[in-house]
A and B are shown apart, each in its own frame.
Chain A
Amino acid sequence: MSTHIKNVQLNNVELASAITMPTPAHLDALRAGLVAVADTEGLLDIAYRTVDSPFGPLLVAATAHGVVRVAFEREDHDRVLDDLAGTVSPRILRSGRRTDAVARQLDEYFAGRRRRFEVEVDLQLVHGFRREVIAHLAEIDYGSTASYAAVARAVGNPAAVRAVGSACSHNPVPVVLPCHRVVRSDGSLGQYLGGVETKAALLALEAAA
């Protein structure tokens, strides 16, 4: 008889190690199945993924109504997701399907092969005047720019130039809604969520395509 085995202490480590765990790939497959079921059950309030861009990874998050958030790396993706958990819903899972279309369109845009995004956008994170301004951004054509003053006039509040700037800096879906196309009246670039160098690069990309 193997007395040495009988002398072994049964503790949590030994018991746990007696249970064979599935491979990481198997757990990933289970996780993917969970996301799919959650989606059909209406429990997937936010699906997200990261998309590679020339400016580093972009976080893309979508509700059932559309793209709710695009975030640059410097905004800290973990913090952005924590904020979404607080403001929209903590039912957040990483998943492809819902964000497939916007991810593909972003790829095409960065490759210079797409001039317009054809995805639903969910602007629930912005309200009032800011929301009006951000909704208007879609009207500014690819490759062109508008001044903060021109946007203020376009939304019917010509005195609100500063408020337009502030709205742009709170755009929850940059790139998809092109706040990078709004510049100062003197032609200088002004601020940008993704950094002013990213703003310049986006405008250069559009000018070259």
Chain B
Amino acid sequence: MQPFEEIVAEHGEVVMRVCRALLRPADADDAWSDTFLSALRAYPDLRPDSNVRGWLVTIAHRKALDVIRKSKRVDPVAAVPEQSRGGDVHELPDHDLRDALAALPPKQRAAVVLHYLGDLPYADVAAALDTSAAAARRSAADGIANLRTSYLSNLPEKESSR
């Protein structure tokens, strides 16, 4: 079994990408830390032939959804202006993508995040979402089609309106 240090070094980035796809940077930091702490706890019991990235990305996705569920109960994410959180100008593009992802139906969003941002093959996406590989592929395709209209067509408009 690899020392956990190597696991963090190898997969720290992809876990952060998944967290930032769904959450504001400050919340993404918390989800990242929670993900690796949970993983560290369970790590000695992980089967040696496990797909470590798939395991971590699935945990990260779940942690991020937990944060979204909690914040929806108290203060809806959409109601908080991004800039009031002290976000800097470098965070504008993923802000747009995050909004577009947040607007997707949950299944589509999950499939897009796990497959396109978490780099998981559809078989693993299906396992994480408790569905079939074909259904996962369909959800991802529908999600991308929706993003093409929401994210891509809105991008230049949003940029010019700032």
Contacts and interface: CB of A to CB of B under 8 A. Distances in A.
Nearest to A4: B156
Contact of B33 (A18, A34, A43, A90): A34
B131 to A, nearest CB: 20
A19 B152 contact: no
Contacts of B2: 82, 85, 90
B40 interface: yes
Nearest to A61: B3
Contact of A20 (B94, B112, B117): B94
Interface string B107-133: 000001001110100000000000000
B136 interface: no
Q: Which label, helix, strand, loop or mixed, suits the secondary structure of the B interface?
A: helix
Contacts of A5: 152-153, 155-156
B13 interface: yes
A15 B119 CA distance: 11
B4 A93 contact: yes
B47 interface: no
B156 A27 contact: no
Given A19-B97, A20-B20, A22-B16, A90 B4 contact: yes
Interface stretch (A6-14, A107-115, A173-181, A192-200): A6-14
Given A22-B25, A91-B44, A43 B37 contact: yes
Contacts of B44: 89-91
* 6 closest residue pairs by CB, A with B: A92-B3, A90-B1, A19-B94, A2-B156, A12-B116, A18-B97
